Amino acid sequence: MRYELLRQAKERKGLSYRQLAQQTGLSFTYIQQVLSGTRRPSISALVRLCTSLEVDPGAVIADELQATGAESA
């Protein structure tokens, strides 16, 4: 999973990983891993990231499902 919508929103807002970590209460390393696609976020972490970045969590999930070729139920 690549979480492209989250990466784009982070760049659009001009936030560093450290700033995003402060806003969400998540660790710098955790956010880097999620946005690089090496770690899947928990639902609560995904919601915190989406809230901070002003991105709809449903849109992120739909984008990830489409990117991985998975079909929604």
Residue spans per domain, the chain = 4-55
6-17 pLDDT, tens digit per residue, is 999 999 999 999
**What would the two tokens of residue 56 be?**
């709809």
C-alpha span between 26 and 9 (Å, rounded): 17
The alpha carbon of 27 is separated from its chain's Cα centroid by a whole number of angstroms, namely: 13
- Residue 33 burial (CB count, 10 A): 14
pLDDT confidence tier of residue 61, bands split at 50, 70 and 90: very high
pLDDT confidence tier of residue 1, bands split at 50, 70 and 90: low
4-55 topology per CATH: 434 Repressor (Amino-terminal Domain) (1.10.260)
Q: Are 52 and 58 in contact (CB under 8 A)?
A: no
CA neighbours within 13 Å on the CB side: how many for 63? Answer: 14
